[in-house]
Structure 1
Amino acid sequence: MKVALIYASTTGNTEAMANAMNEALASAGAEVVFSTADSADAESVAASDVILLGSPAMGDEVLEDTMEEFYTGIEGALSGKKVGLFGSYDWGDGQWLRDWEDRARNAGANVSESLMVHLTPEADDLAKCQDWAKAFLA
C-alpha cells in the first residue's frame, strides 16, 4: 500500500509526530512517500492509496503557510481518497483541525478521526501517532 505522509512544522512538534508515523508505516511494510509540504510532489501524493497530512496550528488556528499552499494544490484530487489529518497546537481547542477536516470532506475525501497533540509530543503521544498511522493500513 502506498501512503503519502506530508507535513509542515515550525517548532519540530509536528515533525516529531510525522517521524513516528513514518517509522511505524515503514516497519509495517507500507511504501511511504515522506516529505515536507514545501518540497512534496503533488502527483505522487495524489497517486497514493492513503494521504496523511500534518500541520501545526498557526495564528488564529489556521494551517501553516506551506501546508496551506500544498493542500490547496491537491484539494481537487482528494475525492474518494482515504485521508488523515494531524498536527500540534499550543493554544485554542483544535479548531484548525476541525476546519481542515471539513475542507477535506467537502473535497470528497474519506476523512477519519484526526490526531492532535498539545505542544511537544511525549512518548505516549508518539506511540499514539504510530498506532494512528498504522490503522490506515487496515
Structure 2
Amino acid sequence: MSKIAVVYWSGTGNTEMMAEACAEGVKESGSEVTLAEVSSFTAADTANYDGVMFGCPAMGAEVLEESVFEPFFTEAEAFLENKPVALFGSYGWGGGAWMNDWAERTRNDGAKLFGNGLAVENTPDNDALAECRKLGKDFAAQI
C-alpha cells in the first residue's frame, strides 16, 4: 500500500476543500493518506512518502503564498527528485499562470509530475470537488 501526503496552505478555505477531496480520492484508492496543513509538515517529511500532493492558491501576481508555503516548498524541492508529485490549488483572478509556473518548476526539480496541476477558479463546486477526488484516486493508482 502506498503512503501519500496531501500538504496544503489555504487562506480562504477553497484550497483546504480541494485538499480534503484529494485525500478522499487517495483513500478510495486503498492507499494510506496523510492530510496536513503546511505548518504541521516539514520539507524533510516528504522523504517518508511514496508520493506527495501539494496544494496552494494563487496569490498576488499569480505566485505561491509567500510567507508560509513558498519557503516550505523551496525547502521541499530538495526532496522531489524522482518523487511522484501532484499539484492543485484555487485562484480568483488571472488565467492560472501560477499553476503553469509551479508545474514547470516542479518538473525542473526532477519530480515525476502527475498531469499539469489542477486549478479551480474561486470556491470549488461539486464538479470541481469530484475532479479533486479523481485526481487523488488517479494519482494514488499510478504509484
TM-score category by the smaller chain? over 0.9
Task: Note the alpha carbon deviations across 1:37-86, whole angstroms, 9 max, x for none.
Answer: 12213333222111100000000000013111111111011000111110
Q: Which runs of 5+ in 1 are unaligned?
A: none
Which runs of structure 2 are paired with 1:75-90 in the superposition (5 Å)? 75-90=77-92
**Counterpart of 2:107?**
105
Q: State the one-letter code of the partner of 2:102.
A: W
Residue 36 of structure 2 corresponds to residue 35 of structure 1: yes
Residue in structure 2 matched with residue 134 of structure 1 by the alignment: 137
Write the deviation string for residues 65-124 of structure 1: whole angstroms up to 9, x where unpaired.
311111111101100011111000000111111111111111100112210100000011
1:125 is aligned to 2:128: yes
Name the count of aligned residue pairs: 138
1:23 matched to 2:11: no
SS in 1 for 2:52: strand
TM-score after normalising by structure 2: 0.91
Residue aligned with 1:38, SS? helix
- Mapped to 2, the partners of 1:41 and 1:27 lie a distance apart of 25
| Counterpart AA for 2:84 | K
Separation in structure 2 between the aligned mates of residue 68 and residue 32 of structure 1, nearest angstrom: 23
Identity, % of aligned positions:
46
CA distance, structure 1, for counterparts of residue 5 and residue 70 of structure 2 = 16
TM-score, length of structure 1 as denominator length: 0.95
Task: Give distance in 1, aligned partners of 2:75 and 2:45.
Answer: 13
- Aligned-residue RMSD, C-alpha: 1.1
Aligned twin of 1:44: 45
Partner SS, residue 140 of structure 2:
coil
Q: Residue type of the partner of 2:44?
A: E
Tell me what 1:58 maps to.
59
Instruction: Give the distance between the partners of 2:113 and 2:48, measured in 1 at CA.
Output: 17
